[in-house]
Amino acid sequence: MRAHMITYGCQMNEYDTHLVQSQLVSLGADMVESVDEADFVLINTCAVRGKPVEKVRTVLGELRKQKGQRKLVVGMMGCLAQLEEGQQIARKFEVDVLLGPGSLLDIGKALESNERFWGLQFKDELHEHIPPPPAGKLQAHLTIMRGCDHHCTYCIVPTTRGPQVSRSPDDILRELDMQLAAGVQEVTLLGQNVNAYGVDGGAKLAGYPSFADLLRMVGKSGVRRIKFTTSHPMNFTEDVAAAMAETPAVCEFVHLPVQSGSDRVLRRMAREYNREKYLRHIAEIRKHLPSAVLFTDIIVGFPGETEEDFQETLSLYDEVGYDSAYMFIYSPRPGTPSYKHFQDLPRELKTERLQRLIAKQKDWATRKNAEKLGSVQEVLIRGDAHSEGFLEGHTRGNHPTIVPKALGATGAGIYQVRIEQTSPHMLSGRILGSDGQPLPELPRFTPEAAAVMGGLPMA
């Protein structure tokens, strides 16, 4: 069997794709690079917003045409597969295999079946399964929990991924050891709400560390860099910030979604915190990590959001001074309370507000990145950039960075880089040798690199 996977959505979906790919390989499948080469195509779907759902519809439409021309098995997995909306789509486009996020280990059964297979049950063994480490990569994701016990009114995750289940610390450390043995140097701990690790259904699990203590444990493993996502402000504690400061391997990067700066909107979202409490967390982070890089998520145009509410979001952005933000127009998702009970705002209004927020984000990113001009940053180089002669990677603070290839540094690795140019979206610089001097470059920085940086003006 020749199999090809297409992945949409979050880092958890990327982890799940790797898990299923490892299952397919163990079944004897050959993973191929394109749909045209494959006789089994599996789409890992996202249901958080409407746009990735439309992408899935488009791809399934194309695959249905191909099924009429050649022998092809089509599968769909992930969050959309768990919903009635996704199951209707699967019927319409004649999907053969449907696997919810809790039934990924059923892929073998599904392919052995001679008829349509739909696996939508949550299986406990999934939480104990340890996939093999990624081959030849310096970065890896490591799931520490699945599901979520919060019920934000806009979010479909509790429906698609179920209640929170924390993985045992022993399984987490075993998987980490395997990743390190395979050469991984940066690991990202994943969960819908990593701060709540070890407290499932509101009850502390016997023998499980807090998330802060888990960070300390992982930091003793020998891994070079540790990141984590995503955090819910309701469960964030000062001890997490303290653990980050105490553990050199933990990167000074915090992704703390706020969603809105308005207390009224936060209540309608059922976020369980207010602006004041959120800002206290920011103060705690900066107390322990003065140089922390702060990212956030913001939803624009939530039902009922007024211009005054939106101005409070803009003022919060200024008060925190985020390094960057993931910004989204509110997308009503069937099955969520906000879809059932709230009236959506006009798309034109939401789009106009998003453009103002993007301008705010670009202004702050320009200033924040310009502060790094002349500094030396630790950069994990992943490999070749789109522009010939250049490498791309990211800093401990998750800033995309490009560098010219240099003698003694032509491939993946962790290097010290002196930053020489910045834009709102990227840094660029030169790799330094052990003596702190730039390594000889081939080629030097050229206008071609500006195209890689989006053609944006340099600071």
pTM flag (> 0.75):
yes
pLDDT, position 54: 94
pLDDT, position 445: 52
pLDDT, position 443: 56
List the chain residues with pLDDT less than 50. 449, 454-459
- CATH number for the region 2-119 comes to 3.40.50.12160
pLDDT in tens, 352-410: 999 999 999 999 999 999 999 999 999 999 999 998 899 999 999 999 999 999 988 88
pLDDT, position 115: 85
pLDDT, position 125: 82
User: Would you kindly state where each structural domain of the chain is located, as residue ranges?
Assistant: 2-119, 130-370, 376-452
pLDDT, position 446: 53
Counted residue by residue, the chain has a size of: 459
10 known member of a binding site: yes
251 known member of a binding site: no
pLDDT, position 448: 54
pLDDT, position 86: 94
Top CATH class of 130-370 equals alpha beta
pLDDT in tens, 179-219: 999 999 999 999 999 999 999 999 999 999 999 999 999 99
pLDDT, position 455: 44
CATH architecture of structural domain 376-452 = Beta Barrel (2.40)
